[in-house]
Amino acid sequence: MKIFIKKLPLLALILFSILFAAACSKENTNAGVPGPYDGEKILVHGLQEQDFEITLGDLKKLPAITKHAEAERSNGEVVKVDATGPLLDTFLKQYGKTQKDFSRVRFTAKDKYSIAVPADVLAGRQIILSYLNKGQPLEEEMQPVRVVIPGERAMYWVMNMIRMDFETGGDQEPPNKVVFLETAVKSLPRHDYEDLDSVDLAVKISDLIDKYAEPDDSGVSNVFLKASDGLQKNETRANFLSAFIKITGPEAPKFLAPQFPQGMHIRGLLYAIYGRTAIFSYNEAIASLPKLTEEGQEGIAFSQIFKQTGLTGGSKYRFTSADGRSIQLTMNDLGGGGLIFQNEQGALAFTCTGSSGRINVPDLLSVEVLP
């Protein structure tokens, strides 16, 4: 009896090890097993001189990892996965590349949802081309591959992925002009837009860009968007120009389009950078950024425009009102400061005190850096 008591923990340990090994084996049973979606094609652009296609079956032949990851969706729901699949770097190694070699990688789904993963994420995160979750094949609506990036928002986790675009273009030049959304939309056609069970007003982004961005935009391929909650996204030029900005109602200003999946919409849009023009929402800024009070007037510091959009510095700036009148101010005129605020009539205005005394710009439409 004494011998049995001494050996019991050892037997229990052996039994546990056998069961654990069996469980692990079961979890990975499907990793290399042929499945009905193995022939599904994924288009690869920008990796070689010519576009080419791979299949899920090709990805299954690569060394895979399994990793637990969690991410929060825009509606607050937390997504949890145990993703199995090759790393993007493992796939790229076949072609002598790593994900750090690219400025952006765009993943596109069958329903046209797409998102570009920026350089900072490519440099610091593992990207899993997942074909199993918790050891089981993905659900039909996620086949053939789900992109999983542990530590990043669920918006990057593109399911039903059928295209990868690898981009090596240089960093986008900083904007040299900021157009304020609230003033700009006053002169644009407004459209009824049904969203979130309400009918609100929206403007076409193409109208906004046609009127206020630089005329030569042939070099624009990607548009950078940022929301007040910190969400950042690169959107294609075509998608951006086909969309709307909702300017009233819940979650406005909101980037959206009827043809886009909900996951491509961006609520609380703070700004968008198209070429060298930034479209900036004062209303979103005053609700989310530090406030400044001058002469009893509350608003946001002019310096916040530089901090948020990366607006280039200069020795002279042109401030333009909605009626077309403008004033050029030097750094001495600005006095190193300045306040953007909403007056009693609800119009944006700018004020500063510099070497020339107090300066006011009513109905502020834009600020442009001059050479």
Tell me the per-residue pLDDT of 74-101, one tens digit each, with 9 for 90 and over: 667 899 999 999 999 999 999 999 999 9
Q: Give, in words, the CATH class of 29-167.
A: alpha beta
- Rounded CA-CA distance 166/44 in Å is 8
Please report which confidence band the pLDDT of residue 5 belongs to, taking 50, 70 and 90 as the band edges.
very low
In this prediction, residue 331 carries a pLDDT of: 84
% of the chain residues with pLDDT over 90: 70
**221 to each of 172, 217, 237, 270, 344, how far by Cα in Å?**
10, 9, 5, 20, 40
- pTM to 2 decimal places: 0.76
In this prediction, residue 321 carries a pLDDT of: 98
- Helix (H) / strand (E) containing 306: helix 303-309
pLDDT digits (tens, 9 = 90+) for 306-323: 999 998 878 899 999 999
% of the chain residues with pLDDT over 70: 89
Average pLDDT over residues 98-105: 94
Please report which confidence band the pLDDT of residue 151 belongs to, taking 50, 70 and 90 as the band edges.
very high
**138 to each of 84, 135, 243, how far by Cα in Å?**
10, 9, 31
Residue 97 · residue 81 · CB < 8 Å: no
In this prediction, residue 21 carries a pLDDT of: 38
Instruction: Domain ranges for the chain, please list them.
Output: 29-167, 177-370
In this prediction, residue 32 carries a pLDDT of: 59
pLDDT digits (tens, 9 = 90+) for 174-192: 899 999 999 999 999 999 9
Examine the pLDDT at 163 and tell me if it is beyond 90: yes
Please report which confidence band the pLDDT of residue 56 belongs to, taking 50, 70 and 90 as the band edges.
very high
- Rounded CA-CA distance 38/57 in Å is 4
Average pLDDT over residues 326-349: 91
- Rounded CA-CA distance 144/155 in Å is 18
Token pair of 135, please?
Answer: 């050891």
In this prediction, residue 12 carries a pLDDT of: 47
